[in-house]
């Protein structure tokens, strides 16, 4: 294993955690906006006002006594996703693909009972997955059917795209692919694959799993450099609009491409991680500094996206 010094990382333009926290999150993010992005339900409502589409909301469960009604509604659903409104890092998200008799089939292929679903809902309300362990709300959303061009690269779970947006400019992006190790979830910390994406074209550039380079998906063997994201410019535009929606200067925007509805917003993150740099094989600092140096910022999402595609592309 080769180690690299902090000085070398700085020369490569890598953004470290301290600089991210102080120089970007602390400087450009108004803490009054955090409750908006830390709550998936609030995010859905505000996103709709700025023409950013989200998965269809099926049910909101706020109290323990409402869980008993979930069983009745679940019987009518073919597939759905249960999420804690204030969850982070993918914790507490349970994706159900279909019913088979009295059992529900998870994205990983595991069968669970309705009793297990109800216990999961109870844990969400108790704050087991929320930031700080505060009492939470459970939301049930329509099941996302990933576009075939992307779903073939992922192991069972839905691939998602993380775009880092700075002052409204999409500056770096990656695709997260579920694996068997990640239990069908597109979460890098749990073993998903991260693929760096060219801002100009949406093409795959570089891929990592557990912060180590990979060329092929570990479960299906597909080459990751060949993939390309459909409706890429639309996704960049959606991400840019989230700046007006929230007022956050530095954030992560997570999207998916649904087979029927096209690009959808999953959630926003006011404290996006730094692994996106490893997936891209590039540091964020040069791009952030370039936006900071603009004498005349672009005031429309469309112009910011055009600028980002021209300035931050690889090809």
Mean pLDDT, range 16-30, rounded to an integer? 96
Token duo for residue 55? 């998965």
- What's the number of CA atoms in the CB half-sphere (13 Å) around residue 174? 27
- What's the number of CA atoms in the CB half-sphere (13 Å) around residue 35? 3
In whole numbers, what is the pLDDT of the chain averaged over residues? Answer: 90
Per cent of the chain over pLDDT 90 is: 63
pLDDT digits (tens, 9 = 90+) for 221-250: 888 887 899 899 999 999 999 999 999 999
| Confidence at 315, pLDDT banded by 50, 70, 90 | low
201, pLDDT greater than 90: yes
Per-position b or e across 154-189, b if 16+ CB within 10 A of its CB? bbbbbbbbbbbbbbbbbbbbbbbbbbebbbbbbbbe
| pLDDT score of 190 | 82
| Confidence at 186, pLDDT banded by 50, 70, 90 | confident
Least trusted range by pLDDT, from 38-52, 215-229, 232-246, 290-304 = 215-229
pTM to 2 decimals? Answer: 0.90
| pLDDT score of 249 | 97
Higher-pLDDT residue of 46 and 108 is: 46
**DSSP annotation string for 151-170:** HTTSSSSPPEEEEEEETTEE
Higher-pLDDT residue of 42 and 77 is: 42
| Contact status, residue 253 vs residue 163, Cβ threshold 8 Å | yes
Mean pLDDT, range 185-214, rounded to an integer? 89
Per-position b or e across 36-68, b if 16+ CB within 10 A of its CB? bbbbbeebbebbeebebbbbeebbebeeeeebe
CA distance 54 to 178: 20
| pLDDT score of 3 | 66
Higher-pLDDT residue of 163 and 158 is: 163
| Confidence at 303, pLDDT banded by 50, 70, 90 | very high
| Confidence at 178, pLDDT banded by 50, 70, 90 | confident
pLDDT digits (tens, 9 = 90+) for 127-160: 999 878 889 999 999 999 889 888 888 887 789 9
């Amino acid at each position: 294993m080769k180690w690299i010094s902090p000085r070398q990382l700085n020369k490569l333009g890598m953004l470290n955690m301290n600089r991210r926290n102080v120089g970007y999150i602390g400087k450009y993010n108004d803490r009054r906006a955090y409750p908006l992005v830390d709550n998936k339900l609030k995010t859905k409502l505000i996103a709709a006002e700025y023409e950013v589409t989200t998965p269809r909301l099926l049910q909101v469960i706020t109290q323990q006594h409402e869980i008993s009604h979930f069983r009745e509604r679940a019987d009518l659903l073919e597939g759905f996703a249960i999420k804690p409104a204030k969850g982070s890092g993918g914790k507490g998200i349970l994706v159900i693909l279909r019913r088979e008799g009295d059992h529900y089939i998870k994205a990983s292929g595991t069968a669970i009972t309705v009793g297990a679903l109800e216990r999961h809902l109870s844990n969400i309300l108790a704050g087991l997955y929320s930031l700080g362990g505060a009492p939470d709300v459970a939301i049930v959303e329509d099941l996302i059917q990933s576009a075939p061009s992307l779903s073939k690269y992922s192991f069972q779970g839905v691939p998602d795209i993380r775009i880092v947006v700075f002052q409204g400019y999409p500056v770096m992006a990656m695709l997260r692919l579920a694996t068997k190790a990640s239990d069908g979830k597109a979460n890098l910390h749990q073993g998903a694959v991260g693929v760096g994406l060219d801002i100009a074209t949406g093409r795959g550039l570089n891929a990592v799993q557990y912060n180590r380079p990979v060329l092929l998906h570990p479960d299906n063997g597909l080459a990751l450099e060949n993939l390309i994201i459909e409706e890429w410019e639309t996704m960049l535009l959606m991400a840019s609009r989230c700046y007006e929606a929230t007022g956050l200067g530095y954030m992560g925007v997570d999207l998916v491409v649904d087979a029927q509805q096209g690009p959808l917003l999953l959630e926003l993150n006011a404290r996006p991680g730094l692994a996106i740099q490893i997936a891209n094989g590039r540091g964020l600092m040069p791009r952030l500094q370039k936006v900071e140096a603009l004498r005349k910022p672009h005031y429309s999402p469309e112009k910011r996206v055009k600028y980002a595609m021209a300035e931050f592309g690889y090809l």
